[in-house]
Amino acid sequence: MTAMNAAEPILKLNDIRKTFGGITAIENFSLDIFPGEIVALVGDNGAGKSTLIKIISGVYTPTSGTITIEGETVAMSNATMARAHGIEVVYQDLALADQQTVYMNMFLGREPVNSFGLLDRRKMIAETEQLVKELDVRIPSAYATIRDLSGGQRQGVAIARATHWASKLILLDEPTAALGVAETAKVEEIVQSLKQRNIGVLIISHSLDQVFKLSDRICVLRRGRQIGVRETAKTDKNEIIAMITGLQHH
Ligand SMILES: Nc1ncnc2c1ncn2[C@@H]1O[C@H](COP(=O)(O)OP(=O)(O)OP(=O)(O)O)[C@@H](O)[C@H]1O
Ligand SMILES: [Mg+2]
């Protein structure tokens, strides 16, 4: 790597726009992320944060605008292509998996069926109740199957996988939303350690404490519009809250 490469952004988003039918989810969005930099993406519910992450990770194709990775403009049509570019993602949905019924989570991918070929829910529920009793002590183990883990534990596995495989950029969509205090601290430590590997991080969080603790820059979205980007050291919570809500504090 030359000195020039080190100063080149890992990711360059230029004038990204995304519409779903008549809804504009993202408009005129531009952002550069540099190696070893942590950028926080904040905004209220429905602002377009997850949509933006899915655009970067190839899940959605932008309606217009360009994505440039280390100087190369790319057209990604699926998440596999993003992974090939060294981009790993921890999706928000993963944190929400524990809001599905426990028994469906427990049997994800290996649901028992009855003689009619229908899901054997009675069996799943009975076995889950049994397991819940047995899993009173929640100690994660390499031998545990994912469906035996809590939402928080599953999220931990996804974060570990993403941080292990990411070579350039990691996108975290509310990675600590389902985690306890100690687990959150651990994830924050891991995110900070990515700097040493020169990996860029884009993290979505509703916790401004976390945003101010971790990020180098903060990018604010409101109803799909990019309100502004600030250096974390040169702003404060009041300014960011005003940007998120659109309400000025005088
Ligand atoms: N696949 C889709 N089809 C239609 N509309 C969508 C789709 N995905 C997102 N949207 C819309 O785009 C907007 C932005 O949604 P998005 O999930 O990106 O918000 P968000 O900032 O991540 O919110 P939250 O903080 O609640 O997770 C919302 O109005 C949402 O309804
Ligand atoms: Mg979201």
pLDDT 10s digits, 149-175: 676 667 766 776 677 668 899 999 998
What mean pLDDT is predicted for residues 35-54?
96
Contact 25, 224 (CB under 8 A): yes
pLDDT at 185 exceeding the cut of 60? yes
Sign of CA dihedral 179, 182, 186, 191: positive
Looking at mean pLDDT, say which of 109-118, 144-153, 221-230 comes out highest: 221-230
Q: Give the closest ligand to the alpha carbon of residue 25.
A: 1
- Distance of alpha carbon 195 from alpha carbon 187, whole angstroms: 14
Q: Which amino acid is at 49?
A: K
What mean pLDDT is predicted for residues 208-216?
97
Query: Which domains are present in the chain?
Result: 3-96+170-245 (3.40.50.300)
What local confidence, expressed as pLDDT, does residue 103 receive? 56
Tracing tokens 């190696």 back to the chain, one arrives at 35
What local confidence, expressed as pLDDT, does residue 136 receive? 38
pLDDT at 83 exceeding the cut of 80? yes
What local confidence, expressed as pLDDT, does residue 237 receive? 97
Tracing tokens 């209220």 back to the chain, one arrives at 44
What local confidence, expressed as pLDDT, does residue 159 receive? 73
Mutational test site, ligand 1, from 17, 51, 176, 204, max ligand atoms within 8 Å of CB: 51
Mutational test site, ligand 1, from 16, 20, 171, 176, max ligand atoms within 8 Å of CB: 20
What local confidence, expressed as pLDDT, does residue 250 receive? 53
What mean pLDDT is predicted for residues 107-132?
72
- Distance of alpha carbon 123 from alpha carbon 57, whole angstroms: 38
Residue 169 CA: distances (Å) to CA of 17, 188, 228: 21, 16, 21
Name the average pLDDT for the chain.
82
Of the pLDDT bands very low, low, confident and very high (cuts 50, 70, 90), residue 88 is confident
What local confidence, expressed as pLDDT, does residue 52 receive? 96
**CA 75–ligand 2 middle distance (angstroms):** 23
